[in-house]
Amino acid sequence: MGRAAMRLTGSQLRCVRGGREIFAGLDFTADAGEPLAVVGANGAGKTSLLRLIAGLIAPAGGSVTFAGGEDDLSPAEQAHYLGHRDALKSALSVMENLTFWRAALGGEATDLDAALNAVGLDHIAQLPAAYLSAGQRRRLSIARLLAVKRPIWLLDEPTSSLDANGQAMMADLMRAHLSRGGVIVAATHLPLGIAARELRIGERVS
């Protein structure tokens, strides 16, 4: 790539939601090529951490920096966020949803058919999203990560509602992204299917 390897760093992050401190003094680094798995109990702040990196929550303290990317863009503008809510419009077809997000997020002329093919939805490209199952909606959200090239993937329970086949597919896609020098931060309870470094948050001494 000709530039320094990418590295996402959070230092002394503090997150407060609804007047309650979720975590404080949190440090992490996510390097290109090695996924960071955020683990912890329910309510430990896994989703909060991802949303904080994505710029969707303002940190109460600390900062997130991204080295090796585009200097004039914030980390959030170089990141994909795959959350619980899938950002799909039921009235639009599978292809229309994907076309919209490609234009809204990046605008590069990537091959949408290939992206749909990769997640196994190419046979229902013209079906309105209203008729998709939970797993298919998840697959369509994952196709968004392929349709727009962004170096950071923030994945919140990426394998939820996917079948065994879909989980293997997601592991392959993550591996491919990492081998291109991408960064992955995933919050999960389930095994990701690939070797990952663990970041344990919200541990209370008991």
Partner 1 sequence: MTALLALLRRDIQVALRVGGGALIGVLFFLIVVVLMPFAVGPDLALLKKLGPAILWLGALLASLLTLDRLFAADHDDGSLDLLTMSRTPLELICLTKAIAHWLVAGLPLIVATPILGLLLNLDGDATVAVALTLLAGTPALTFTGMIGAALAVALRRGGLLLAVLVLPLSIPVLIFGVAASNAAVLEPAGFGAPLSILCALSLAGLVIGPLAAAASLRHGLD
Q: Is the dihedral of CA 149, 152, 153, 156 positive or negative?
A: negative
103/97 Cα distance (integer angstroms): 10
- Of 2-10, 56-64, 177-185, 190-198, which part binds partner 1 (CB under 8 A)? 56-64
What's the rounded Cα separation, in Å, for the pair 107 and 124?
23
Q: Does 184 bind partner 1 (CB under 8 A)?
A: no
Class of residue 152 by CB neighbours under 10 A (exposed 0-12, middle 13-18, buried 19+):
buried
- Please, what is the minimum distance in Å from the beta carbon of residue 188 to partner 1? 19
What DSSP assignment string belongs to 138-197?
Answer: HHHHHHHHHHS--SEEEEESTTTT--HHHHHHHHHHHHHHHHTT-EEEEE-SS--SS--E
- What x/- string results for residues 68 through 107 when contact with partner 1 is judged by CB under 8 A? -----x--xx-x-x-xxxxxxxxxx---x--xxx-xxxxx
| Shortest separation between residue 198's beta carbon and partner 1, angstroms | 26
User: Would you say 57 or 171 has its CB closer to partner 1?
Assistant: 57
Q: Is 32 in the site for partner 1 (CB under 8 A)?
A: no
Residue 125 binds to partner 1 (criterion: CB under 8 A): no
Task: State in angstroms the smallest separation of the CB of 56 from partner 1.
Answer: 5
Q: Which residues bind partner 1 (CB under 8 A)?
A: 17, 51, 54-58, 73, 76-77, 79, 81, 83-92, 96, 99-101, 103-107
